[in-house]
Structure 1
Amino acid sequence: MTVMAERPTMSGTEYQGFEELLVALDELAVPDGYRAEIMRGSIVVSPWSRGYYTLVMRLVCEQLEPHLPDGHVIDRAPNLFVFPGVERAFGPDVYAAEATALATVSNHLDGEALSFVAELTSFSTRHDDLTDKVETYAKAGVPVYLLLDMQEEQATVLWTPSAKGYESRLTMPFGEKLPIPAPFDCLLDTAGFKAP
């Protein structure tokens, strides 16, 4: 497998099935500074985020934590959430999920336990964050998807998931206060989200 600095790399040339891909992902030796996810029948390896992305992720967690649904936790730990029905497995930048979904020895967590996901785009992941992940999270019923477009410096919140995608969305430039809908019902202050 070849790993490139700013472009995702797909391993394998022949689709073997979702369960086999999960096993291969578990056995994959991912180089330091990279992460692996399953998208469209392939293992995709992409670089980890820039330094200031960590500060943005912390700001999101700190602001949403007081508004979590009962029994949910929010984190930015590198966990893999699986969506077997659509054969995807993602490691969201920030997520809120039922705490019970984390009480397992497995590293394959139930994507249906998610109540919130935030993805911060990079040059290598932007397309998938704007398309495949939007569709997958909506079909899985994730109530709120926050897309932080780091290249365009704008935040988009999507809610009301359905089989056809998210039915509601709102986009605001960084620096504004973005309403985060139920089950959070709060304002997310995006001041401090811009690149230094």
Structure 2
Amino acid sequence: MTTDIGRRLRPQMLPEEFEELARLAFRTIEGLRLEFLGGRLAVRPRSDGDHGRVVEWLVRRCLQARPELFLHRHGLKVHRSRNGRANPDGILAHAEAFVGLGPWVGAEAVLMVVEITLAEVEADQRARVEKPRAYAETGIPLYLLIDRDSAEVVVHSDPAGVRYETVRTLPFGKTVHLPDPVGIPLDTEPLKNWVR
């Protein structure tokens, strides 16, 4: 029997409940991806062709520079308690890092998380504000935000608790040096072709 106190202390949704909801939504509506950040359920809108092209560009750049790595597409358990769930556009890790794991992976093997802005205000706000905090809390070494609205690349590094200590913003067209543990330079000139 649940008491009133027990109901008030229970989280809005347990991680397992969210994962089942996300699995059903993905199967029911093609391309629909759900997230659970800060105790709130959010829908990631479908990406457009330019968004997909940015992902392809980044996969190629990473493979050319570091063939032992791959830009994976998995759900990610975030926050210190791992109760949050994010659906980043890419998770850079060793090619075999997630073999045998389910659709939601822990951050232990993650070198960098990538988000690319979409044409949706709420999703873009999460990518700019909520996700840097979630990824820093999780201890992910780098967070790369490719902001197609402002035509900028934002590199977050040195996670320290609830934020990244170093945040570097460069306009598209500049070469971005992703620090260790990634150590990849990115010539962002091609990104100018895929802005909104």
> Shorter-chain TM-score category?
0.7 to 0.9
**Residue 99 (structure 1) shift:** 4.2
Aligned length: 180
> Counterpart of 2:99?
103
1:76 is displaced (CA, Å) by: 4.9
| TM-score between both structures, scaled by the size of structure 1 | 0.81
Bigger proportion of residues as helix: 2
Q: Deviations over 1:87-113 (max 9, x none)?
A: 211121122124454122522211232
Contact in 2 for aligned 1:57/1:76 (Cα 8 Å): no
Worse-matched range after superposition: 95-104 or 45-54: 95-104
Is 1:35 the counterpart of 2:33 in the alignment? yes
1:162-192 Cα shifts (integer Å, max 9, x gaps)? 1031001111111111111011223111111
Residue of structure 2 equivalent to 1:83: 78
Following superposition, the deviation at residue 45 of structure 1 comes to 1.8
Cα distance in structure 2, aligned partners of 1:191 and 1:96: 21
Q: Which residue of structure 2 aligns with residue 145 of structure 1?
A: 143
The CA deviation at 1:130 is 0.7
Q: Hey, which of these two has a bigger chunk of strand by percent?
A: 1
Q: Kindly provide the CA deviation profile for residues 44-102 of structure 1, in whole angstroms up to 9, marking residues without a partner as x.
A: 2222211012221122122222444x9x632253x211126152111211221244541
Could you say what secondary structure the match of 1:179 adopts? strand
User: Which residue of the partner structure matches residue 52 of structure 1?
Assistant: 50
Q: Select the residue among 8, 13, 18 that pairs with 2:15.
A: 18
Structure 2 CA distance for aligned equivalents of residues 33 and 88 of structure 1: 20
Structure 1 residues 23 and 33, CA gap change in structure 2 (3 angstroms)? closer
The letter of the residue matching 2:18 is: L
Which residue type is aligned with residue 35 of structure 1?
Answer: R
Q: Deviation above 6 Å: which 4+ runs of structure 1?
A: none
- Give, in angstroms, the shift of residue 120 of structure 1: 0.4
Other structure's SS at 1:55 match: helix
Q: Percent identity?
A: 24
Structure-2 separation of matches of 1:76 and 1:105: 12
> Aligned equivalents of 1:23 and 1:33: distance in 2?
16
Farther-moved stretch of structure 1 (80-89 vs 174-183): 80-89
Unaligned runs of 5+ in 1: 1-13
Cα drift, residue 148 of structure 1: 0.7
| TM-score normalised by structure 2 residue count | 0.81
In 2, Cα distance between the equivalents of 1:164 and 1:83?
12
Match for 1:150: what amino acid? R
Taking the aligned partners of 2:113 and 2:13, their CA distance within structure 1 comes to 28
Query: What amino acid is aligned across from residue 82 of structure 1 in structure 2?
Result: K
Q: Give me the CA root mean square deviation.
A: 2.2
